[in-house]
Structure 1
Amino acid sequence: MFSYRVEGTWRRLKRHGWSRQQPTRRAIERDEDVVDVWKKETWSRVRAPRWSVGPGSSSRTRPGSR
């Protein structure tokens, strides 16, 4: 069994004419207006709130102290 690093794998694939595949266009069915509405209304409610910066502790026995 062979074991390759990422760099070596890419070199071997490139040598044989392979390349990274990237989509050249978006799906025909995609409706940008619907996506924009979803991002503004739904995603803003679903995404996790950012962590607030405040005092904390890495100690389990002394909460709130640094």
Structure 2
Amino acid sequence: MNMTANVGTIDRVLRAVVGIALIAWAATGGPVWAWVGVVPLATAGFSFCPAYSLLGIKTCPTPRT
């Protein structure tokens, strides 16, 4: 599987902010499901979203490998 970047800069920043917020919420007594924040944080870190790949979406203007 080729993990070419498909997540653009604005998308990455939004994913990171949402991921960190959800993890912080879970860590401070929020619901267990808030740990799902790990997913957007990881996709922001790798600049790759498997769901985008399946759907043919790319918010990254130039592919990085």
Same fold (TM over 0.5): no
Q: Using structure 2 for the length normalisation, give the TM-score.
A: 0.29
Highest RCO, 1 vs 2 (Cα 8 Å, sep ≥ 6): 2
The higher radius of gyration belongs to 1
Q: Using structure 1 for the length normalisation, give the TM-score.
A: 0.28
